[in-house]
Structure 1
Amino acid sequence: MKERPVIAITGSAGKTTTKEMVSSILSRKWNIYKSSGNSNTTWATQKHKKNITDKHQAVVLEYGMNSKGTIAAHCETIKPTIGIITNVGTAHIGNFGGEIEGIALCKSELIKGMKQTGILILNADDPNSKLLSTSGFKGQIAKVGYQNDADYFAYNIQYNKKGMTFDIKIDGDSHSLFIPIFGHHHVINALLAIAVTHQLGITPYDIKEGLKTFLTMKQRLKFLRPGRGINVIDDTYSANPEAAKAAIDVLQNIGHQKKIVILGNMLELGNYSIQGHQEVGRYIAEKEMDLLFTVGNMSKEVGNGALAAGMPADSVKHFSSKKELHKYLKRILEPKTTILVKGSNKSRMKDTVQFLQKLLKSSK
């Protein structure tokens, strides 16, 4: 290995999962340094710089962003040789005047700040990634996807009881892979990890084994079976419109006969807030979910969007408090139901997950 790979991952969603996937694969062969949990601030990057030593054969870091210049500051502290941009979405869009172009410009700071002859991995299926500025970059660009033409293309994507399976061609040979997490968006994260590790010479076997055993994160599409024939999908770590739609897709694919969506506020959307919440409501109606419950002042707009898209009025209910919501859930829950609980971390929708776990375990 001529140069130690320094891999930096940014994007509106999927950073931590992609980091864990990359790390799991690389650690099968190398002694790696990775950022812990979801620590992705510039302060964390300064700390990482002090902790990385010569014994580390590869470095895998997450570069977070909530304003202009943040990613540039990350790159000044630790210059990546490889950059991964998972997607360009609406997370923190309130800090950019509600404009997606502003987010794309700031994500592009990774491209400008990394080694200019390095490797850049992009998401071919994300339309907003076309807004990223790659002009002047002289390195190799690899793209991943399952919808559009890509260097690393997944096909035959399937849900099973424990996660996702998919096929991919690597060096002309077909390989079947498994990831222990649900959602097509996580297949994209896996493809990003496959692309970077394959570029670094890791074998398809080690890629396959690393993905099978990567560390999944709490409160991120965790499938729970607390009891009474009722399942709960805990996706309460963070929320934005794209992530909410992805979670609804998961519910549609793995849910029981009856499907309930419980949504709290999606924060940091700024001028885009009403539109973003209503967009999610329309999507819930399109996917024909059985019931929609919202709690929190902005989440009411999700219900408005669902009603406008034709969801029956008796299937949509807004609650002024979690206490009121929990009281109602006690009355109406029945077997063969799957409940998706989602909201921004500050909305503390995990309180509802904990309530459901306690309620359903005690009545097994």
Structure 2
Amino acid sequence: MPGILGNKRPIIAVTGSAGKTTTKEMVAAILSARNKIFKSVRNKNTWVNTRAYKKQINASHRAVVLEYGMLRAGQIKKHCQMIQPNIGVVTNVGTAHIGNFGGSIRGIARAKSELIQHMRPRGVLFLNADDVNSRMLLTKGFKGRIFKVGINNPAQFKAFHIREEGNGVSFDLKLRGQVHTFHVPLPGRHNVYNALFAIAIAHCLGYPVSAMQRGLRRFARPQRRLSTFRGRDGIVIIDDTFSANPNAVRAAIDVLQQNKGPKIAVLGAMLEMGKYHVRGHKGVGRYIAKKGIDYLFTFGKNAALIGKGAVEAGFPAAKVIHCNTREVLHRKLLQKIQANSSILVKGSHKVKMNLTAAFLRKRFARQKSN
């Protein structure tokens, strides 16, 4: 496999506060078009999973694509001790699990930097040029090559002419002096970054543009990550219930805003926020107040703070509906949903907002013809 690593087998590790699984799957979709690869299973990304993967990888795998998750400091280092990557990706540095870091973004950046410190010293690192918090990553002692992806700031892989389409997002990118168009079957500008990482890795490994385009088009989106269901009466349900943190919720709100018709956000609490939970939840509310959302439903104790933040920022109090039981949530939702409504459902995994998404899908399923 020609490219920046020469004849060495690519061992690719993806970490970051958001976009890990999607980026990993996009990389795997491209690389698997030409070679047998090993990739981590779904979102099974703990260091214990990585230890198990080490026993499953063999000489027939021409590339390895892994997702390195963490809850606390020291866990990314453990991943690298199990399987040391020669290609590293830090998608971004955000607020996921910030409660385990004393409410400190710098603490999260330091923990994510364990990938940089413990991967192959002369490997290849990919970073997000537009993510302000990624500037806190500890890259000073890294002796390998660093490439950046971006949309706004200077980067070796910079997307432009981004356009939202009905079934995803398309963008242009210049490679080797030529402009190429790529399409990702996932909505949201934030998914352009995930695709850019996949393209950048494939490019550096010597893959042709056609393989990148084909791989991204056949990429299978992870479940419950901006999964769109179109039901009767023009109802659109966006199921993004796998996890939630402030950055991810804002990105999902941006996707909801792109839809036509009445827009309803149904948000559960964001967990593992620690001391940051008031600031994090209220910040999401303030963001919603600027986005033209028609109704905001919140579910669970801490989620009420989202509504408070929204009202403080000028969102109509009458259009904020907080519910403490799922039965009440579902009943009040049905009272507000009208034809052509778009409904985003999101919350932390343990809040089980997927039950609400499933309820809505069943309720607005298209009638089968006889």
Write the letter of the residue equivalent to 1:135. Answer: K
Match of 1:201 in 2: 206
Number of residues of Structure 1 aligned to a counterpart in Structure 2: 363
Q: Which aligned runs of 4 or more in structure 1 are off by greater than 6 angstroms? A: none
- Residues 289-323 of structure 1: per-residue CA shift (max 9 Å, x gap): 11101110000000000000001111111112111
Match of 1:182 in 2: 187
Write the letter of the residue equivalent to 1:98. Answer: G
Residue of structure 2 aligned with 1:60, choices 65, 77, 98: 65
- Residues 81-110 of structure 1: per-residue CA shift (max 9 Å, x gap): 000000000000000000000000000000
* Identity over aligned pairs, percent: 51
Q: Secondary structure at the match of 2:242?
A: coil
Contact 2:95 2:105 (C-alpha < 8 Å) held by counterparts: yes
Write the letter of the residue equivalent to 1:242. Answer: N
Q: Secondary structure at the match of 2:161?
A: strand
Distance between the aligned counterparts of 1:46 and 1:361, measured in 2?
42
Q: Secondary structure at the match of 2:181?
A: strand
Distance between the aligned counterparts of 1:332 and 1:167, measured in 2?
39
Residue of structure 2 aligned with 1:283, choices 258, 275, 287: 287
Match of 1:301 in 2: 305
Shift in Å, 1:257:
1.5
Shift in Å, 1:176:
0.5
Q: Secondary structure at the match of 1:207?
A: helix
Q: Secondary structure at the match of 1:361?
A: coil
Q: Is residue 230 from structure 1 mapped to residue 235 from structure 2 by the alignment? A: yes
Distance between the aligned counterparts of 2:336 and 2:85, measured in 1?
52
Match of 1:167 in 2: 172
Match of 1:338 in 2: 342
Q: Secondary structure at the match of 1:228?
A: helix
Shift in Å, 1:362:
7.0
Contact 2:231 2:366 (C-alpha < 8 Å) held by counterparts: no
Distance between the aligned counterparts of 1:191 and 1:238, measured in 2?
22
Distance between the aligned counterparts of 2:213 and 2:346, measured in 1?
30
- Residues 118-153 of structure 1: per-residue CA shift (max 9 Å, x gap): 100000010000000001111110000001111000
Q: Is residue 259 from structure 1 mapped to residue 266 from structure 2 by the alignment? A: no
Write the letter of the residue equivalent to 1:76. Answer: Q
Write the letter of the residue equivalent to 2:12. Answer: I
Match of 1:328 in 2: 332
- Residues 225-258 of structure 1: per-residue CA shift (max 9 Å, x gap): 12221110000000000000000000111x2221
Q: Is residue 18 from structure 1 mapped to residue 19 from structure 2 by the alignment? A: no
Contact 1:228 1:363 (C-alpha < 8 Å) held by counterparts: no
Distance between the aligned counterparts of 1:58 and 1:363, measured in 2?
45
Write the letter of the residue equivalent to 1:231. Answer: V
Q: Is residue 135 from structure 1 mapped to residue 140 from structure 2 by the alignment? A: yes
Q: Secondary structure at the match of 2:219?
A: coil
Shift in Å, 1:330:
2.2
Distance between the aligned counterparts of 1:32 and 1:309, measured in 2?
49
Distance between the aligned counterparts of 2:309 and 2:68, measured in 1?
33
Write the letter of the residue equivalent to 1:105. Answer: R
Q: TM-score, normalised by structure 2?
A: 0.97
Write the letter of the residue equivalent to 1:72. Answer: K
Gaps of 5+ in 1: none
Residue of structure 1 aligned with 2:96, choices 70, 85, 91: 91
Gaps of 5+ in 2: 2-6
Q: Is residue 103 from structure 1 mapped to residue 101 from structure 2 by the alignment? A: no
Match of 2:4 in 1: none
Match of 1:319 in 2: 323
Matches within 5 A, 1:25-44: 25-44=30-49
Q: Secondary structure at the match of 1:156?
A: strand
Match of 2:75 in 1: 70
Q: Secondary structure at the match of 1:234?
A: strand
Q: Is residue 145 from structure 1 mapped to residue 154 from structure 2 by the alignment? A: no
Distance between the aligned counterparts of 2:262 and 2:222, measured in 1?
26
Distance between the aligned counterparts of 1:362 and 1:88, measured in 2?
40
Write the letter of the residue equivalent to 2:39. Answer: K
Contact 1:32 1:56 (C-alpha < 8 Å) held by counterparts: yes
Q: Is residue 192 from structure 1 mapped to residue 174 from structure 2 by the alignment? A: no
Q: Secondary structure at the match of 2:231?
A: strand
Shift in Å, 1:332:
2.5
**Greater CA deviation, 226-235 or 260-269?**
226-235
- Residues 250-282 of structure 1: per-residue CA shift (max 9 Å, x gap): 0111x2221000000000010000110000000
